[in-house]
Amino acid sequence: MAKIKTTKYDLAEYLNTPEEMAAYLEACLEEANGDAAFVAKALGNIARAKGMTEVARNAGVSRESLYKALSGERTPNFDTILKVIHALGLELHALPRVS
């Protein structure tokens, strides 16, 4: 039987436009179910797609601390989330929840 070669799937390679990034974040916010680390990981994927160095510079944080904050293994401060969303060129909106 021939061996199957696999490669690691990197979502960041598929987030090419601001619209795709916004749609991905919107879907993650809907699925997060209150899990802030999940949202942080989604923002990390978007930041990697856009370029972590550029996002870190625009957010006013170091690249290393941005990687840590958006790893999905910790919950970053809300001010960091807001800085990153702004640096990504995205906006955060609120809508009334439909029950």
Report residue 91 as tokens: 């906006």
Amino acid 7: pLDDT: 85
Residue 20 lies in a domain: no
Q: Which domain holds residue 35?
A: 29-87
Residue 36 lies in a domain: yes
Residue 98 lies in a domain: no
Give me the phi and psi of 32, to 5 degrees please: -65, -30
Residues 6+ apart with CB under 8 A from 96: none
DSSP 8-state code for residue 14: G
* Spatial separation of the C-alpha atoms in residues 44 and 86, rounded to whole Å: 13
Report residue 49 as tokens: 């797609």
* Spatial separation of the C-alpha atoms in residues 77 and 84, rounded to whole Å: 11
Report residue 98 as tokens: 């439909």
Query: Looking at the 3D structure of the chain, how many domains does it have?
Result: 1
Per-residue pLDDT of the chain (99 residues; tens, 9 = 90+): 789 988 888 999 999 999 999 999 999 999 999 899 999 999 999 999 999 999 999 999 999 999 999 998 988 899 999 999 999 999 988 889 887
Residue 49 lies in a domain: yes
pTM for the model: 0.87
